[in-house]
Amino acid sequence: MKSVLKQIIERNKLDEKKLFRSRKAELENSSTTDERRNFLKKTALGGIAMTGMMGLAIEDTIAQTTSKVSRMSAPSELKITDMRYALTNVMGGTAIIKIETNQGIYGLGEVRDAADVRYALFLKSRILGKNPCNVEKIFKSIKQFGGPARQAGGVCAVEMALWDICGKAYNVPAWQLLGGRYRDKVRLYADTPEASSPEEQKRLIDFRVNEQGYTWLKMDVSIGELKGKPGTVVNGKFWENDKGVLAQWGDRRNMMSYGNTMHPFTQIQITEKGLEELQQVVEDVRNMVGYEIPISTDHYGHFDLNNGIRLAKALDKYRLAWFEDMVPWQYNEQWRTITDAIETPTTTGEDIYLLKDFLPLIHNRAVDIIHPDLASSGGLLETKRIADYAEEYGIAMAMHQAGTPVSFMANVHCAAATQNFLALEHHSVDVPWWESLVKTVGGFKMIDKGFATVPLTAPGLGIELDEEVVKAHLHPSDKTFFKSTDEWNELRSHDRTYS
C-alpha cells in the first residue's frame, strides 16, 4: 500500500513539474496579459506546482498553499463583482465600462457613441454575482432592457465586456469563442475628407488612399450641399433652423424639427437642378478616387422614397458601393421598393437592435447589404447570428462603428468570425490620439494600411487601456475615472416579463 502511495505521489510530482513548466512558459510569454499573469500566480494549482518544484512533500505543499495563498477559482467559479465607467471625449461623449470579477480579471465594453452611460449602470444590479463566462445566459436576462439605436448601448457594452473576460479566463481571442476566424485582417472603410477647394480635397484623398492605405471610402451626398443654391429644393425653407440649415441630426429641444422628423413626413423634394448639383459632387469625388476603390454614400437628407429613388437613379452610373439609410430602417416595405427600383446596392441597420428586427429586411431581401452597429445590434454573438442568417439569403454584411478602440476591436473579432463580411467603418481616422487610448496585448499594430489586425493569440478583445491617455481625453461633462458606482448595486424590481 505504501509503495502504491509512493508511486502516486511521484506521478503527481511529475504532473506538477509539467504543469509548472507550462505555466512558467506562459508567464514569460510577452503576449500574456498582466491579468492572466496574476491569475496564474494566484491559483492554488499554480501554487502547488511552484512549491512542488521547490522539493517540498506534497502534504507540505498543500498545507502551504491552502494556508498562505489566496486561492483563485477556475473560470467556472468566476463572479462579477463590480462595474465602473470612464466617459471619453470620442464622438462627443462615449463611455467605456469595466466589469470586474472575483479573480482580478476584468472586461472592457463600450456604451455606443453619444449614448447615456446609465443605460449600462442600470444593468449592474442585474449582473452582480453572475458568472461572466455564461455570456448568452446573462445576455438573455438583460436584453429586455435594450432598444433601437443608442437605447441598446448598455446591453451591448455589457456583452462586449463579458466576451473580453471570457477570452481572458480561457486565454483565447474572442473570435475563437465565436467559432473561429475567416480572416487575419479586417478591411476598413473611412470617410472621404472634405476641404475648402477641389485641389485640397484631392490632396487629402491621396493621403487617405496612398499614405493611410484605405481601400474603401465613404462620402455624404447631402442636400446640405444645396444650401444657398436657389431652385434646388422644394419646401426646404420651412424646415431650416435659425441658422438657415437643414440640420440632419435634430434638436433635443424641438422634437418637431427637421432632424427629428422621419423622412416620409417632410415633403421636401429635390429639383432637377438639385440633382445635377449632387451629381457633380459625386462625379468630382469619383474622378479624384478613380474606379478601383468602392465609394459608399450616406446622409442624404430627410425626404421620401420617391426622391430617394430619383437621386439614386441619377447617381447609378457612378457605381457607388451602396446607398445607406435612405429611409428609416422600420419601413422595410419601402426599402424593398427602393432596392427593386435602382441598380446601386442598398443598406441599413446601424440602429436595429437584435436579429428579430433584421428578419423582415432579410426575409424580404429588402436590402442588398445589412449594416449593423455592434454597439446597438446586441454585441458580438448577436451580430454574428444576424450576419449568419443574412448569409443564408445571399445578403452581405458591412459594419457601422463610430466609437473608441474598445468597440472597434469588438467589431474586429466579430468581422473575423463572419464569412459574409465586407468592410468595417473607422470613424476616427483623423483623431491623432484615438489609437493611443489602448495598448494592444503583445504589441500588434491595431490598424495597418487601411486594415485592422485580427489578434491571433491575445486573449479576449486583445487590448488594455492606457489609463493616462484616457484620463487626458475624458469628456468635460464628467472627469471621473472609474469611480465607485455602488449606488447601482441594489436590484429594485422584479424583471420577469411574463406571468
pTM of the model: 0.86
Q: How far apart are CA 202 and CA 206, in angstroms?
A: 6
Distance CA 333, CA 283 (A): 30
Q: Are 62 and 489 in contact (CB under 8 A)?
A: no
Strand order in the sheet with 80-88: 80-88, 94-101, 106-110
Strands 106-110 and 438-440: unpaired
Query: Could you list the mean pLDDT of each consecutive 10-residue stretch along the chain, which spans 499 residues?
Result: 56 65 74 69 47 45 40 79 98 97 97 96 98 98 98 98 97 98 98 90 95 97 96 97 90 91 97 98 97 97 97 98 98 98 98 98 98 98 98 98 98 98 97 98 97 98 98 98 98 91
- Residue 419: all three cell numbers together: 464569412
The Cα–Cα gap between 142 and 155 comes to 7
Angle at 168 between CA 439 and CA 463, to 5 degrees: 15
User: What b/e readout covers 59-86, taking b as 16+ CB neighbours within 10 angstroms?
Assistant: eebbebbeeebeebeebeebebebbbbb
Cβ atoms 434, 428 nearer than 8 A: yes
CA 68 to chain centroid, in Å, comes to 42
CA distance to 177, 180, 222, 375, per residue, from 354 (Å)? 20, 22, 29, 11
- Where residue 16 falls (left for φ over 0; alpha for ψ -120 to 50; beta otherwise) is alpha
Burial class (CB in 10 A: 0-12, 13-18, 19+), 425: buried
- Which amino acid does the sequence have at 419? Q
Q: Rounded to an integer, what distance in angstroms lies between the CA atom of residue 297 and that of residue 299?
A: 7
Res 3: pLDDT: 60
Helix, strand, or coil here: 202?
helix
Which residue, among 316, 329, 367, has the nearest Cα to 346 in the 3D structure? Answer: 367
Q: In this structure, which amino acid lies at residue 38?
A: N
In 134-268, DSSP assigns E strands to 185-191, 217-220, 233-234
What is the predicted pLDDT for the residue at 158? 98
Helix (H) / strand (E) element for 377: namely: helix 374-377
Q: What is the pLDDT of residue 250?
A: 83
Give burial (CB, 10 Å; 0-12/13-18/19+) of 484: exposed
What pLDDT does 75 receive? 94
CA dihedral sign, ordered 81, 136, 117, 414: positive
Task: Collect all residues with Cβ–Cβ distance below 8 Å to 208 and sequence separation of at least 6.
Answer: 190, 192, 193, 214, 217, 429
Of 471, 376, 357, residue with least CA distance to 425 = 376
In angstroms, the CA 112 to CA 374 distance is 9
* Residue labelled with grid coordinates 455592434: 374
